[in-house]
Amino acid sequence: MTEQHDDERTRIRVAMDRLLAGQPTSSNGSLTVAALAAEAGVHRMALQKRHADLKEEFYARVRTETHQMPEVERRLRKKVVRLKEALKDSRAAEAESRHRAEQMALAAAVLILRRPDSQVQPAPGNVIPLRPSGD
């Protein structure tokens, strides 16, 4: 590891301590990766890519030391709940559409067979008629 790399890691760890102690100097003090990067004076992507282990360590410390869920996780959990509700609604709408389509197909078949001028045609080999042809 290079000296610059080690210096970044040291600054990130010191910034973690300041944020968790509630004493930010260079950020808004929120317990997010963006605030941690600002507090440490490193680019956020450097924290995400080169120092991903420190990012995870930060989130673990947020959970254990402050007994709260990191903001990113909280937002994702809310989004998961919204998506699950949307999926449930979508599945219910699909089931209703299928039911209506089946009802309309049956109604159309009944109307066709009840017409007085209807001549029941023999069904192709892969279709089962609703009413036998001799009725």
Query: Looking up tokens 């007085």, which residue turns up?
Result: 116
The mean pLDDT value for 40-53 works out to 89
Please give the helix or strand (H or E) that residue 110 lies within, else none: helix 71-114
pLDDT at 89: 96
Residue 60 has pLDDT above 80, yes or no: yes
Helix then strand then coil, in percent of the chain rounded to 5, is 70, 0, 30
pLDDT tens digits, residue range 2-29? Answer: 788 788 899 999 999 999 888 888 888 8
pLDDT at 84: 96
Q: What is the mean pLDDT of the chain?
A: 84
Maximum CA extent, the chain? 94
pLDDT at 120: 57
The mean pLDDT value for 110-134 works out to 65
- What pLDDT band is residue 127 in, cutting at 50, 70 and 90? low
Provide the token pair at 1.
Answer: 């590891």
- What pLDDT band is residue 32 in, cutting at 50, 70 and 90? confident
pLDDT at 37: 92
Provide the token pair at 3.
Answer: 């000296």
Q: How far apart are CA 17 and CA 12, in angstroms?
A: 9
Based on its alpha-carbon atoms, the radius of gyration of the chain, rounded to whole angstroms, reads: 32
- What pLDDT band is residue 90 in, cutting at 50, 70 and 90? very high
Structural contact between residues 39 and 15, judged by C-beta atoms closer than 8 angstroms: yes
